Structure 1
Amino acid sequence: MTRPDTRYARSGDVNIAYQTMGEGPRDLVLVPGWVSNLDVFWEEPAMARFLQRLASFSRLILFDKRGTGLSDRVADMPNLETRMDDVRAVMDAVRSTRAALVGYSEGGPMCMLFGATHPERTSAIVMIGSFARRTWAPDYPWGPTRADYDRAMDEYTRGWGGPVGLDIRAPSVAHDPRFREWWARFLRQGASPGANRRLMGMNVEIDVRHVLPAVRVPTLILHNDGDRSVPVEYGRYMAERIPGAKYVELRGDDHLPWIGNADAILDELEEFLTGVRRGPEPDRVLATVMFTDIVDATAKAGELGDRRWRDLLDAHHALVREQLAKFRGREIDTAGDGFLAAFDGPARAVRAACSISEGVRALGLAIRAGLHTGECEVMGPKLGGVAVHIGARVAALAGAGEVLVSSTVRDLVAGSGLRFTDRGAHTLKGVPGEWHLFAIGKDSQA
């Protein structure tokens, strides 16, 4: 078997390693879990057969996440938003405008977030042995506690270099000397002990449960009933909350999809993808909305007079639009001194708001900004829906020079380095329930 050539796509200032194979009628991006190494993949016959089967009905696109495998090493492991950028960079490099995303284990949350945010580029999502949250919570009573997870992280760090974690990920081959040797090499070539510790630390922060209802592309969830690494309840939980998701529970104890009942997994996956027809363009999309307005604008206008105020407003608008362009935001609406913009990533939205807040100080102005991430209705070039209303209500509660975000935004930017101050629970006018709000810390502002 001839291995596919490894190429590199540029994502920001990081090089992402990728391979392509197959000439099928649809593109399929395989999003790996934990760590990976494209070259070592092909050294294991079971994995090679798994990949060849995928390539038999698709153009298969493989990649190593930044910080792992053949991709550039990075100082800090990326959050989900950055990983989305890397997938998009690889798709652009191979000129893929639309693809099915297949993610196993921790690859699933990224697939969900990408599919909800970019439904126009996602023909389908398949998640195998995956999850929306990795650890136990009072309203999520499965899996390891945070203390259990931390102990496992310590154990893996001490044992890195050997076949750590194999007993729960592939019990059917856990005592096979050849496979144990390959697994240990795969992990070593995938990440260093320190990089893996940072990666596991980032993964434990993943919680995309609030994204599940916003996934509107065809979705298949596959889960082995005896999976010891990711409990089967995780798969059932997602299937109950993703609209129209197809859930298939298979008999098996292995977590790695190319081990054990790989043929059953591939049969379900192939049937699902080859039967998918492109539906109507999506009328809903996951987005982060940002509202800004100038504090005490009326008083300032009265103080300056119409002409000087108009000049100042023009300078303010130019600065806001410059920052929107820099952080890939899209201007949705402008009314007087206020802006509504949308972003495809919450961390970029927060940083844009911080840059705008900092920039307008030089103009002698202060703004308030509010951000929320949610499912928005697409109405031509505009966005609407409850998520937009929530963003507006959050902005209304912000103080002068403050960037205020919903808990949804705070949760989604875990691992981004942004710091927050808890502003407590609030009632938002016209929105049911209480909403926990957070202010961006001063040390996070640009």
Structure 2
Amino acid sequence: MRQKVGYCTAPDAVKLAYAVHGSGPPIVRVATWMTNLEFDWDSPVWRHWLDALGDGHTLIRYDERGCGLSDRDVDDISFDAWVADLEAVVDAAGVDRFALLGVSTGVAVAVEYAARHPERLTHLVLYGGYARGRELRGASERRLQDALIAAISAGWTNPDPTFRHLFSMLFLPAGTAEQMGWYDDLQRKSTSAATAVRIYNARGRINVVDTAAQVRTRTLVVHPADDRVVPIGEGRLLATLLPDARLVELDSANHIMLSDDPAWPRFVSELRDFLGTKPVTARPGVEELSRRELEVLELVAAGLTNEAIAERLSLSIRTVERHLTNTYVKLRVSGKAGRAAAAARFSEANQH
């Protein structure tokens, strides 16, 4: 599976990068906090999302203004600009009717688009999002907003990831060292500290509480129950504001659902049931692995490093690496995201 990257122009002449992959009914994913279309493609944090969403669907996603492959130096960072960017990408991609997916900070933009363009949408899926930004949620949330902005200003461009790691721990509390390290790097590679502050400030002022009542598209709202970035109460509020919404609470603390998260298979199942589609790619399963390969993969799925696995199983590190190489070949996964994809396959198999 490959992605095709293209460019379009927003109403204020900002160049936006968007990517398309997969085949089938289209899904448009609204841009969210910190993306880079090329860097995300082999990501241990996002690649399983891209594989699942592009299996039986055409997935269209884009880097928001100021980030990734889109123009970095922009004058306008605002909610209205984000909605106009989504409109520009949809038009450039040439899709007529489609399912719209909002993730995290992209949820409010998706709600606004749905209210303005109901004729374009077949389904609306909102994951881990909110109808009101931190500035509208009370004094404690405003203090947290200020603290996170201070962390961005202090350490965003520093080679030492200490300050950026704060976001990784919030977004991926159950993440492995590899996943957190990748997310640390993503932030620095996506945008500048100054732009990140502007984006975060604009996110804090978001308010689609009244707009949500105007949405007429059938909606699936999904939220991790122990989300540390967006409290579950915000997801519940969002679901009550939308006229035709169903709320699914996932047993997870990860704001970004990871491939080895036990709740990931349920999310994919709920999504496919809602969209009425099935995967079309036949994937080899873990039943093709040897007993020792399964033992190694089980420990990978539990978050252990190769060194820890070698010690646990009384093997050499080289032998663990050889078992993993064979596993990746059998499961047809590769690249930097191969480890996470294999772990996800193991977790899925053990859900049944």
1:195 shift after superposition? 0.6
Provide the C-alpha distance between the structure 2 equivalents of 1:181 and 1:226, rounded to a whole number of angstroms. Answer: 22
Aligned equivalent of 1:252 = 252
Quote how far apart the aligned CAs of 1:153 are.
0.7
Residue of structure 1 in register with 2:9 after alignment: 10
| Residue pair 1:64, 1:71 contacting (<8 A) in 2 also | yes
CA distance in 1, matches of 2:269, 2:248: 11
CA contact (8 A) 1:128 1:257 kept: no
Matched residues, percent identical? 30
Residues 3 and 42, structure 1, Cα contact 8 Å, conserved in 2: no
Secondary structure of 2:221 counterpart: strand
Deviation for aligned residue 1:263? 2.2
Q: Secondary structure at the match of 2:4?
A: coil
- In 2, Cα distance between equivalents of 1:247 and 1:258: 20
Q: Which residue of 2 aligns with 1:236?
A: 236
Q: How far, CA to CA, are the matches of 2:245 and 2:103 in structure 1?
A: 16
Query: For residues 77 and 198 of structure 1, do their structure 2 counterparts lie closer, same or farther at Cα, with a shift above 3 Å needed?
Result: farther
Give the one of 146, 150, 158 matched to 1:150. Answer: 146
User: Against the structure 1 CA distance between its residues 54 and 113, is the aligned structure 2 distance closer, same or farther, given a 3 Å change threshold?
Assistant: same
Offset at 1:115?
A: 0.3
What's the counterpart of residue 219 of structure 2?
219
Question: 1:274 corresponds to which letter in structure 2?
Answer: G
Alpha-carbon distance between aligned partners in 1 of 2:80 and 2:182, rounded to the nearest angstrom:
31
Query: What is the one-letter code of the residue matched to 2:183?
Result: W
Which has a greater percent of helix? 2
Q: Residue by residue, what CA displacement relative to the aligned partner does 1:391-420 show, whole Å, maximum 9, x if unpaired? A: xxxxxxxxxxxxxxxxxxxxxxxxxxxxxx
Contact persistence 2:135–2:204 (CA under 8 A): no
How much does 1:77 deviate?
A: 4.4
- Distance in 2 of aligned mates of 1:75 and 1:134: 22
SS at match of 1:179: helix
- Are 2:27 and 2:57, in contact at CA under 8 Å, matched by a contact in 1? yes
Cα distance, 1:74 vs structure 2: 3.3
3-state secondary structure, aligned to 1:6: strand
Shift of residue 57, structure 1, vs aligned partner = 2.2
1:150-187 Cα distance to aligned partner (Å, 9 max, x none): 121101221214234111111101xx332232112211
Deviation at 1:125, TM superposition (A): 1.2
How many equivalent pairs are there?
268
User: How far apart are residue 144 of structure 1 and its match?
Assistant: 4.2
Query: Are the structure 2 counterparts of residues 55 and 217 from structure 1 closer, same or farther at C-alpha, using a change threshold of 3 Å?
Result: same
How far the C-alpha of 1:193 sits from its partner, in A, is 0.6
Partner residue, 2:53? 54
Residue 91 of structure 1 aligns to which amino acid in structure 2? V
Q: Give structure 2 stretches of 5+ with no counterpart.
A: 278-352
Query: Matches of 1:225 and 1:198 in 2, distance apart?
Result: 29
1:435 corresponds in structure 2 to: none
Q: Among 267, 270, 275, which residue is 1:268 paired with?
A: 270
Secondary structure of 1:16's aligned partner: strand
* Structure 1: runs of 5 or more not aligned: 276-446
How far is the alpha carbon of 1:9 from its aligned partner?
A: 1.1
- 2:103 maps to amino acid: Y
Amino acid at match of 1:222: V
Query: In 1, distance between residues paired with 2:144 and 2:246?
Result: 31
Residues in 2 aligned to 1:7 and 1:244: alpha-carbon distance in whole angstroms: 34
Residue aligning to 1:307: none
Give the corresponding residue for 1:167.
Answer: 169
Secondary structure of the residue aligned to 1:145 is helix
Matched-pair contact (CA < 8 Å) for 1:50–1:262: no
Deviation per residue, 1:9-59 (Å, 9 max, x gap): 1223111101111111x1101113211100111122452122111111211
1:200 and 1:154 map into 2 onto residues whose CA distance is 11
Higher RCO (CA 8 Å, separation ≥ 6 residues):
2
Please give the per-residue CA displacement for 1:295-347, whole angstroms capped at 9, x wherever unaligned.
xxxxxxxxxxxxxxxxxxxxxxxxxxxxxxxxxxxxxxxxxxxxxxxxxxxxx
Residue identity opposite 2:169 in structure 1:
D
Aligned residue for 2:196, secondary structure, equals helix
Question: Given the two structures, how large is their TM-score scaled by the length of structure 1?
Answer: 0.57
Instruction: Give the superposition deviation at 1:266.
Output: 1.6
Higher strand content, 1 or 2: 1
Q: Provide the aligned C-alpha RMSD in A.
A: 1.8
**Cα contact 1:30–1:101 (8 A) shared by 2:** yes
Matches within 5 A, 1:293-304: none
In 1, are the aligned partners of 2:108 and 2:131 still within 8 Å (CA)? yes
Amino acid at match of 1:219: T
Question: Do the aligned partners of residues 219 and 32 (structure 1) sit closer, same or farther apart at CA in structure 2, a change above 3 Å counting?
Answer: same
- Residue in 2 that maps onto 1:126: 125
Asked whether the 8 Å contact 1:77–1:198 carries over to 2, the reply is no
Runs of 4 or more, structure 1, over 3 Å off, are 74-77
Contact 1:156 1:165 in 2 (8 A): no
Q: 1:102 maps to what in 2? A: 101
The answer to whether the Cα contact below 8 Å between 1:102 and 1:125 also exists between their aligned partners in 2 is yes
